[in-house]
């Protein structure tokens, strides 16, 4: 082999090395471009999904505003606002879920700050039924009074020595809402009704009446020969709406607490008072209907 042949061989090796390096750089650039495009696509999907979530919130506000004008004296699941939910509804590029519920079907822990004895007595009984001891109940009341008004009941889980099962049962019966509210007998579940009336049979009958008529009334209580418990009512001013939008592979979820306010100047106004997003959604927000 001559020296010229050696030089040509080295040149060929160098060319091949440069080609390999250039090919690697091209692949790297293509990969980075694909990642950038993927990020941009996901960003657009997330923005669309977030806009749809806000649209779902606005639809609930509109429905609750109409209800406040049409039927201001009572709120129950048989009204039009309660039927606007959606499960897996098809939208352009994805699906949409919406759940709306009455937020005042539970005891409002912020009522403990009012100085009234009735909320304190109710909470003490609820905590005892759930399985908390007296000291844990006192600490829970002290927390709400010192740190409140609270917007989330999950800090109750941090009570020293509290049984998780007892906390879970208490969470099914309490919530954290702005101001002082009553428990709407049209929204409370059977477990809470049994506690309020101290009569499981009466609670079963009331739930059956609600399923049949959409609501319970003072007349129904009279027919069952039971009295309306203190701290309860038949109307609400606070509601939940929970929305989930999935666009492509991107999902956005939000829960909003909506409040209706009556003022002398403006009449009734329906406004969002708190919002949570994705993993921060609190446990008392309504669950989405199971897709069939």
pLDDT per residue as tens digits for the range 204-214: 999 999 999 99
User: Rounded to the nearest 10 degrees, what angle do helices 117-130 and 190-197 cross at?
Assistant: 120
pLDDT of the residue at 18: 60
pLDDT of the residue at 34: 56
Specify the CATH number of the domain 1-103+236-291.
3.30.1300.30
Other C-beta atoms lying within 10 Å of the C-beta of residue 224: 16
* Maximal C-alpha separation, the chain: 116
Classified as helix, coil or strand, 234 is: coil
pLDDT of the residue at 27: 61
Distance of alpha carbon 118 from alpha carbon 276, whole angstroms: 30
21: alpha, beta or left, given left = phi > 0 and alpha = psi -120 to 50? alpha
Over residues 182-205, the pLDDT tens digits come to 999 999 999 999 999 999 999 999
Boundaries of CATH 3.30.1300.30 in the chain?
Answer: 1-103+236-291
pLDDT of the residue at 248: 82
Residue 127 to residues 105, 136, 244, 248, Cα–Cα distance (Å)? 17, 9, 33, 44
Which parts of the chain sit beneath pLDDT 50?
Answer: 37
pLDDT of the residue at 249: 80
Residue 246 token pair: 């999935």
Buried b (16+ CB within 10 A) or exposed e, 160-185: eebeeebbebbbebbbbbbeebbbbb
pLDDT of the residue at 31: 59
pLDDT of the residue at 29: 63
Cβ atoms 278, 75 nearer than 8 A: no
Q: How many distinct helices (H) and strands (E) make up the chain?
A: 7, 9
């Amino acid at each position: 082999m001559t020296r010229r042949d050696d030089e040509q061989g080295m040149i060929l090796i160098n060319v091949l090395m440069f080609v390999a390096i250039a090919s690697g750089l091209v692949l790297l650039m293509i990969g980075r471009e694909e990642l950038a495009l993927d990020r941009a696509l996901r960003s657009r999907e997330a923005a669309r999904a977030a806009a749809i979530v806000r649209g779902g919130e606005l639809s609930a506000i509109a429905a609750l505003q109409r209800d406040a004008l049409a039927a201001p004296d009572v709120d129950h699941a048989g009204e039009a606002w309660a039927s606007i939910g959606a499960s897996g509804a098809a939208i352009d590029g994805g699906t949409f879920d919406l759940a709306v519920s009455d937020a005042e079907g539970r005891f409002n822990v912020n009522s403990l700050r009012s100085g009234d004895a009735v909320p304190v007595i109710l909470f003490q009984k609820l905590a005892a039924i759930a399985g908390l001891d007296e000291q844990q109940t006192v600490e829970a009341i002290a927390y709400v009074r010192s740190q409140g008004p609270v917007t989330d009941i999950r800090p109750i889980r941090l009570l020293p020595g509290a049984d998780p099962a007892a906390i879970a049962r208490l969470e099914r019966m309490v919530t954290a809402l702005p101001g002082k509210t009553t428990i709407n007998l049209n929204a409370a579940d059977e477990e809470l009704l049994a506690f309020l009336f101290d009569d499981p049979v009466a609670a079963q009958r009331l739930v059956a009446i609600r399923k049949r008529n959409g609501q319970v009334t003072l007349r129904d209580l009279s027919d069952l020969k039971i009295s309306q418990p203190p701290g309860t009512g038949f109307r609400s001013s606070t509601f939940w709406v929970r929305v989930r939008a999935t666009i492509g592979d991107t999902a956005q979820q939000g829960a909003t607490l909506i409040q209706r306010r009556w003022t002398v100047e403006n009449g009734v106004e329906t406004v969002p008072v708190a919002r949570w997003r994705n993993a921060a959604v609190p446990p008392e927000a309504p669950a989405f209907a199971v897709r069939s």
